[in-house]
Structure 1
Amino acid sequence: MTIDKQLILDAFHFRHACKQYDPSKKISDEDFRFILETGRLSPSSFGFEPWKFFVIENRRLRELIHDNAWGAKDKIMDCSHFVIVTVRQPDTLLADGDYVQHIMRDVHHIPDEARKLRQNFYRTFTEQDFALTANPTAFYHWACRQSYIAMANMLTAAAMIGIDSTPIEGFPLEKMNDLLVEQGLYDPKEYKLSVMIAFGYRVNDPREKTRQAFEDVVEWVK
């Protein structure tokens, strides 16, 4: 299957960090499920999918985010859909942990012998290659990098069907995470906040997209 390359580039030119959303326009259930599905199908290191997406429809929770996340303040009450992306806590991503075993056994359907080999390979990666197990903060950041792959795919998928979006890091991380935990959104032993995303329809057209020249960011090594 192929998709016209210009259509893909057009979507990248269309996409921008939307500053103001039209509260009268809502994304259809079908379209938003499509966007979420591109996040679900996204690649992750070892295929362990260390993320969970929370679609925030509750107005009281949106108001809480509005009052505490400065990057979401001018968007969250007007955008059609708002997503909180969390990642799994380091303790749940250990090679011997239940979650990793569940993914390999029940999702990937890896036979027992091969699963042991993959488990040992992953253990070497987390303990030695990237030295993640000795540094929970580094382990958290590694999981966040996986979640950003999913987010990027959702942003692009949205743009390809004419829907605007805004990736949001504008919040005090620990405070915002604690507030969401206090609201019962997730168990802090399992998940931690990574990033937020607003989706909807723009009010105004953005200024022309600006990027560095191709030659300034690409170097061919022969």
Structure 2
Amino acid sequence: MDKPEIQQLLIQNAHRRYATKKYRAGQHIPNDDWQTILEVGRLSPSSFGYEPWKFLLLNNRHDQEAIKPFAWGAANSINGADKLLIILAHKNVTYDSQYVQHLVDDIKHKNYSPTSTVSQKFKKFQEQDLGLKNSHDVFEWAVRQCYIAMANMITAAAALDIDSCPIEGFNYAQLNEYLADHHYMDPKEWGVAVMVSFGYRDQEITPKVRQPLSDIYQELN
């Protein structure tokens, strides 16, 4: 495949990606496709490579029905999507946190130190460059990283001819409480960033209507 063909394929895939409102119930995603989508999420970029996310697949039908009253945006997905994924964001990703120490020592296999050049650079980045003032700010920064992973996953799904729908239409406090009460997450460490569903649509794709590139792109020469 030459480059013009690849370019065209990428644009076609962007048109193929559609926020699905109605799924075909009972049609399952092949496991190898699902594992591919998860792997794309796992390999997504994150600030400083600290990957502050966890992917929580809500398989249990009882749980899906239980969250419906406060997850209006997920109702159509619960009624037909094959996968309902909750993406959690880590709450304590700071230069001196146990989470960062774990990533550096156990995942990156480097020697962690809060006074290292990298640790101090991360500290300056969060506190001065981003201006994160408190734990809420740090969490919201982590949430933004989770959206990168979700975007990559829904793009990968479209390439596999699988439909998806990003979901923000729910009460965050109630969903966090539900997950914590059922011991699906430690609320001291994690909080809900966003939900996303995957499956096969039972509707036609509506052609995308977007602003022209000239309205959203500017070159500073």
- How high is the TM-score relative to the length of structure 2? 0.93
User: Is the CA contact (8 Å cut-off) linking 1:163 and 1:201 kept in structure 2?
Assistant: yes
- Which segment drifts farther, 7-16 or 103-112? 103-112
Aligned to 1:97: 97
Taking a change above 3 Å as real, the CA distance of residues 113 and 175 of structure 1, as seen in their structure-2 partners, is closer
For 1:178-210, what per-residue CA distance to the aligned partner results, in whole angstroms no more than 9, with x for missing partners? Answer: 112112110001100010001000001122111
Identity %: 41
Equivalent residue for 2:171?
172
Distance 1:216 1:21 in 2: 34
Instruction: Tell me how large the CA RMSD over aligned residues is.
Output: 1.8
**Distance of 2:114 and 2:158 partners within structure 1:** 40
- With 118-127 and 152-161 compared, the bigger mean Cα shift is at 118-127
1:196 maps to amino acid = M
- The total of aligned residue pairs comes to 219
CA distance in 1, matches of 2:39, 2:78: 22
Give how far 1:137 is off: 2.0
The answer for unaligned runs of 5 or more in structure 1 is none
Q: Which residue of 1 aligns with 2:8?
A: 6
Gaps of 5+ in 2: none
Contact residue 37 and residue 153 of structure 2 kept, 8 A: yes
Aligned-pair CA distance for 1:112: 5.5
Q: Given the two structures, how large is their TM-score scaled by the length of structure 1?
A: 0.93
CA change 1:207–1:113 in 2 (3 A) is closer
SS of the residue aligned with 1:72? helix
Contact 2:18–2:205 under 8 Å retained in 1: yes
Select between 101-110 and 8-17 the one with higher mean Cα deviation: 101-110
Q: Secondary structure at the match of 1:93?
A: coil
Hey, what does 1:76 align to over in structure 2? 78
Q: Deviations over 1:104-131 (max 9, x none)?
A: 2222223568981101111111222223
Larger mean Cα displacement after TM superposition, 173-182 or 197-206? 173-182
